[in-house]
A and B are shown apart, each in its own frame.
Chain A
Amino acid sequence: MKDLYVFLAVLKKYYIELKRYAFNTVMMMGGIYILFALIFLGMQSFNATPETLESTIVGFALWIFAILGFSELSWSILEEARNGTLEQLYISPVSFGRISGYRVLASFMVNLLLMSAFLMAMMVGTGHYLNLDPGVLLLVFLTLLSVYGIGYMMGGLALIFKKVQATLSIFQFLFIVLLMIPAALDSAIIYVLPVSWGSVLINDVMVRGTPFLELPLNSVMILLLNSLAYFAVGYLVFGYLEKIAKQKGLLGHY
């Protein structure tokens, strides 16, 4: 039950902050939409095929979703350290790693609503309607699990080095590359990279119209293993870096 109450507290805080800063959220989504529109129009002017355009919608939405989740783990640690609240999170009966996991889950739930609305707006705005199979939710979650794993690693580095904003920014653009690799490269490497294979499967369902249940089981299993591996490694690395931060007395320092 303790964990449930911690999760509810984290979810409520996430929601309150989002609501209280609704203007910021709306402006952020508006800005992102304009960026998307510019990319979409640019691609249209190069006579991109409808499939490419629809893949762009999926890729862009997935990228934003990934950035939001990634930020929740890495940027927020920097913010908490700067504000002086990070140490309070460590003085909890639930480990900080788990609290961070709950934050990710809370952000996934809230961002899912935001991204659904955003996706609708993209589809209406472009006139390209995608196949909205409920199974996509699972694929998105599994794809983002690898992002969260990387987020944990970066969060661990943030605990120690604090000034990692530049690296975090680079990672945000690295996700674009990872999402684009499958289109550019027909290689088995996409099975081991984070995000890439997940984006292939999501495209299969949303763009090519393959029902989720008709996806080959081994394809979904590869995604599951890939995501779990990244998540587990990320979590372990975070634990290791957290221990170093505690040994060096760096928690809460900024």
Chain B
Amino acid sequence: MTEMALEVKGLNKTYPQWRKESVEALRDVSFDLSKGEVMGLLGPNGAGKTTAIKCVCGLILPDTGSVRFFGEEVKDRVARYVSAVLEGNRNIYWRLSTRENLEFFAGLQGLSPSSVREDIVSLLKTFKLEEKENVPARKLSRGMQQKLALGCALIRDTPLLLLDEPTLGLDVETSLELRNYIKELVRDGDKTILLSSHDMNVVEDVCDRVVIINHGRVVADDTVKGLKDIFKVQAYEIGLQGRWNELRDVLPEHYNIDIRDSHTVINCQLKDSKEFYRLVDLFKERRIEIDHVKTKEPNFEEIFVKLLDGDRR
């Protein structure tokens, strides 16, 4: 049986507001995370992602609900199981050097300096920060600071790692580098990771599973592949020979018609097979030759938007 690293059950959190309507930040939020899994927590701004992560860390007390780590319900002192990077590069001490930060966070976890000496060397090497080990954190680039923040979480050597927007504000190259580290972490060790991000590429690239939160509720909980499969069958790309501009007057508005040099490409979402056959009949009627029909791999960002859109309705 798969061991559960994290079980979140029925979290509810309401923030009372002075002379205003209370804000329901979490509404019966439940999800779990198997050992060695990377799960993405997605949602628009204000959806409740950070509140959920902070409830897991014990930084916010939920009104009701429970958080269990490896089968044990923990309300306080979660640090035995969890380390976190919560605000990217703001989690480190800017006056301390790279090495001093790593040493401090190891000490904060109650680890002896001698027991982490080699780990620090290894982390400095992994994150390519060896040359910057004596440089104060404030003098590092943003990417380096975020790598250091991740290093400070890793030096604590906990089985569960929570990453809130780990690639926020990074350039493409550093973001890719950080993504690869995250993937390596799971591949090489027995780390379990809960990651929240606005960057769909990061989530699609790194995560096994995705939980989407909107208005404090879980609106989807599936694997990245599972979510893609749901939408895959409905998205088509239809190539036609010739330029058929007049189709714009005949086809529904949500059909994307792209007229190219000698052919026309239609991107559309079809409700069912009947709609597809009606479309083929229409082409026959007008003597339009079909060049190709492809099921379109849905973009993860589109899936996310559709799910939120569905939730709004």
Contact = CB atoms under 8 A, between A and B. Distances in A.
Interface in B121-155: 136, 152
Contact of B112 (A5, A93, A249): A5
A110 B93 CA distance: 20
Nearest to B85: A88
Contacts of B90: 83-85
Contacts of B83: 91
A93 B77 contact: yes
A57 interface: no
Contact of A93 (B57, B61, B93, B109): B109
A90 B54 CA distance: 11
B103 interface: yes
B255 interface: no
A249 B107 contact: no
Interface residues of B, number: 41
B15 A248 contact: yes
Contact of B96 (A10, A13, A91, A94): A13
A91 B87 contact: no
Given A87-B86, A93-B77, A12 B104 contact: yes
B87 A9 contact: no
Contact of A246 (B60, B104, B108): B60
Interface of A: 1-3, 5-6, 8-10, 12-13, 16-17, 20-21, 83-85, 87-95, 99, 243, 246-249, 251-252
Interface in B97-112: 100, 103-112
B163 to A, nearest CB: 13
Contacts of A6: 107-108, 110
B91 interface: yes
A9 B112 CA distance: 9
Nearest to A84: B90
A5 B57 contact: no
A179 B227 CA distance: 69
24 contacts: A2-B110, A5-B110, A5-B112, A8-B107, A9-B108, A12-B100, A12-B103, A17-B95, A20-B136, A83-B93, A84-B90, A87-B54, A88-B91, A88-B108, A89-B108, A91-B58, A92-B109, A92-B110, A95-B76, A248-B15, A249-B25, A251-B60, A252-B59, A252-B87
Given A16-B100, A85-B91, A243-B61, A249 B110 contact: no
A12 B96 CA distance: 11
A95 B58 CA distance: 12
Nearest to B95: A17
B59 A251 contact: yes
A93 B91 CA distance: 17
A21 B110 contact: no
A83 B94 contact: yes
A8 B107 CA distance: 7
A239 B80 CA distance: 21
Contacts of A91: 57-59, 78-79, 82-84
B92 interface: yes
A188 B86 CA distance: 51
Contacts of A92: 79, 108-110
B174 interface: no
A9 B100 CA distance: 10
B107 A84 contact: no
A2 B96 CA distance: 22
A95 B108 contact: no
B241 interface: no
A101 B113 CA distance: 21
A85 B61 contact: no
A85 B79 CA distance: 15
Contacts of B78: 91
A194 B104 CA distance: 34
Nearest to B110: A2
B269 interface: no
Nearest to A91: B79
B59 A90 contact: yes
Contacts of B57: 87, 90-91
Contact of A247 (B61, B86, B92, B94): B61
Contacts of A5: 107, 110-113
Contacts of B51: 249
Nearest to A248: B15
Contacts of A21: 95
Nearest to B87: A84
A90 B60 CA distance: 11
